[in-house]
Amino acid sequence: MQNANHQNESKFIEALKEWDAPEIPASLDQRVFASYSAHVHRAPFWKRFFTASIPVPAPLVAAAALLLLVAGGVAWAALKSSSVQVVAQPAPPINTITKTEIVEVPVVQERIVTRIIYVEKKAPQSLMAQLPSVSQPSEIKLASHVAGDNAYTNVDLSGYQPVEEMKVRIIKGSAANEQ
Partner 1 sequence: MTDGNLLQTAVHGDDAAFRVLYERHRDAVFRFAYRMLQSVELAEEITHDCFLSLIKKPARFDASRASLKTYLCAAARNQAIKHLQREMSHEELNPDLPISDHWNPLKQVIGAELSTVVRNAIAVLPPLQREAVILFEYEDLSLAEIALIVNADVGTVKARLHRGREKLRQLLAPYVKQGAQTASPSTGP
Which parts of this chain interact with partner 1 (CB under 8 A)?
A: 8, 11-22, 24-25, 27-29, 31-33, 35-37, 39-41
- Quick one: 27 or 161, whose CB is closer to partner 1? 27
**In which element (H, E) is residue 126 found?**
helix 125-130
Question: Min. distance of Cβ 17 from partner 1 in angstroms?
Answer: 8
Tell me how far apart the alpha carbons of residues 165 and 57 are, in angstroms, rounded to a whole number: 135
Tell me how far apart the alpha carbons of residues 129 and 137 are, in angstroms, rounded to a whole number: 20
- Quick one: 33 or 76, whose CB is closer to partner 1? 33
Tell me how far apart the alpha carbons of residues 21 and 28 are, in angstroms, rounded to a whole number: 15
Question: Min. distance of Cβ 58 from partner 1 in angstroms?
Answer: 33
Which phi and psi angles does 81 have, rounded to 5°? -65, -40
Tell me how far apart the alpha carbons of residues 44 and 40 are, in angstroms, rounded to a whole number: 11
- Quick one: 7 or 138, whose CB is closer to partner 1? 7
Question: Min. distance of Cβ 64 from partner 1 in angstroms?
Answer: 38
- Quick one: 27 or 83, whose CB is closer to partner 1? 27
CA angle 115, 118, 120 (to 5 degrees): 155
Question: Min. distance of Cβ 26 from partner 1 in angstroms?
Answer: 11
